[in-house]
A and B are shown apart, each in its own frame.
Chain A
């Protein structure tokens, strides 16, 4: 879940954190950049995921 105290946007739906406190299902990777709220290109692999925002770069996580 995105943390509304740190993130400007919900990474599950892209809305400003003030409008969505975090709606991402625990098994979903983030789909929106928490900084700018724009939809990211996401690739999921067997043990992780990689999400790219055009402006804010790449986020990778091992699961």
Chain B
């Protein structure tokens, strides 16, 4: 670790959102939102790519209306329940990949020091902590390109143990899979497998060079083929344009995940994206709403970066289309207290519950 590492300055400068269209007027926005409401709630059909693109360009003043539509869509398509999940980085740092946002890559000089796979007892303890918080899902996350045989064996040992002891559904995030590995994990009781697309195919080479977007897409397909639920998320705020966010939404529709964790970039010191500005809170709300409107059936989860990006607006995300959250801490940094999140859900009269995809 060098001693030249500079702390990241938390920037609140608005993210310049680059787009190819002119923003709608307030009247045009009202009409577009009304048309989307008819499509999604009365006709109960998905919006076309063109309809979605129009909504991405409503002016800031129309974002609360867009969010309100997204909330109605979520209630109508998914119900009022919120799914709560805990995550654990069971093998931290030292990853050979070069995802430019990630403090766990061995390619960058960051504060994260690599640590080996946690002991079974430590993982079980974290699962118990998660169950005690009222969660239904526990995700074991590993900083790897893909699992080696030793890792596979550890996972296959841990999954039934955790499920048996805590009753939690167990999810795994261990990178790129082979068909054989996907089958073994599915047979071993993995309920959901996380593998994020992160960003649009056209922007991916700006974010990762050590593997390509197609490899990610293939793993997503394998997960579904072998009968695990697919958790496939996005990370916004890496310099992608509005059109690339829309492109990503189209690509997410194609991989058809059960769950979409929505992350916002928290710039990490030492990574190539350390100096990118934070996504503005209202911009984050706009995109939470657009994700819900584009993907009405998915479990849309608040994931990393919400404390950093949304600050005091976190409750607003819950009425803009979010219906799941990660409770407690994240992989390498902390979350706000579980009590605050549970109180927020209680105040909003949103019951904690189990969700699976509505077909």
Residues A12 and B7 in contact, CB atoms below 8 Å apart? yes
A34 at the interface (CB under 8 A from B): no
| B332: contacting residue among A14, A15, A44, A47, CB under 8 A | A44
Interface size on B, residues (CB 8 A): 37
Residues B89 and A47 in contact, CB atoms below 8 Å apart? no
Residues of B within 8 A of A44 (CB): 89, 92, 329-334
A41 at the interface (CB under 8 A from B): yes
| A49: contacting residue among B114, B334, B337, B338, CB under 8 A | B334
The distance in angstroms between the C-alpha atoms of A61 and B125, with both chains bound, is 14
Q: Interface of chain A, helix or strand or loop or mixed? A: loop
Whether A39 contacts B335 in the complex (CB less than 8 A), given A12-B7, A45-B125, A45-B129, comes out as no
0/1 interface trace, chain B 244-269, chain A, CB 8 Å (1 if under): 00000000000000000000000000
| B334: contacting residue among A23, A41, A63, CB under 8 A | A63
Whether A27 contacts B307 in the complex (CB less than 8 A), given A39-B113, A41-B115, comes out as yes
The distance in angstroms between the C-alpha atoms of A60 and B177, with both chains bound, is 34
Interface size on A, residues (CB 8 A): 24
Residues A42 and B7 in contact, CB atoms below 8 Å apart? no
0/1 interface trace, chain A 9-46, chain B, CB 8 Å (1 if under): 00011110000100101011101100000011111111
Residues A47 and B329 in contact, CB atoms below 8 Å apart? yes
Residues B332 and A63 in contact, CB atoms below 8 Å apart? no
Residues of A within 8 A of B242 (CB): none
| B337: contacting residue among A14, A28, A32, A63, CB under 8 A | A63
B86 at the interface (CB under 8 A from A): yes
Residues B118 and A43 in contact, CB atoms below 8 Å apart? yes
B133 at the interface (CB under 8 A from A): yes
The distance in angstroms between the C-alpha atoms of A39 and B113, with both chains bound, is 7
- Which residue of A is nearest B123, CB measured? A45
The distance in angstroms between the C-alpha atoms of A27 and B125, with both chains bound, is 22
Residues A46 and B87 in contact, CB atoms below 8 Å apart? yes
B10 at the interface (CB under 8 A from A): yes
Residues B88 and A46 in contact, CB atoms below 8 Å apart? yes
The distance in angstroms between the C-alpha atoms of A43 and B8, with both chains bound, is 21
The distance in angstroms between the C-alpha atoms of A17 and B229, with both chains bound, is 48
The distance in angstroms between the C-alpha atoms of A35 and B338, with both chains bound, is 30
Residues of A within 8 A of B114 (CB): 41
B3 at the interface (CB under 8 A from A): yes
- Which residue of A is nearest B114, CB measured? A41
Residues B113 and A41 in contact, CB atoms below 8 Å apart? yes
B49 at the interface (CB under 8 A from A): no
Q: Ordered nearest first, which 6 A-B pairs have the shortest CB separation? A: A46-B328, A23-B7, A31-B111, A46-B86, A45-B126, A27-B334
Q: List 5 contacting pairs A-B, 8 Å CB cutoff, sorted by A.
A: A41-B113, A42-B113, A43-B122, A46-B327, A47-B129
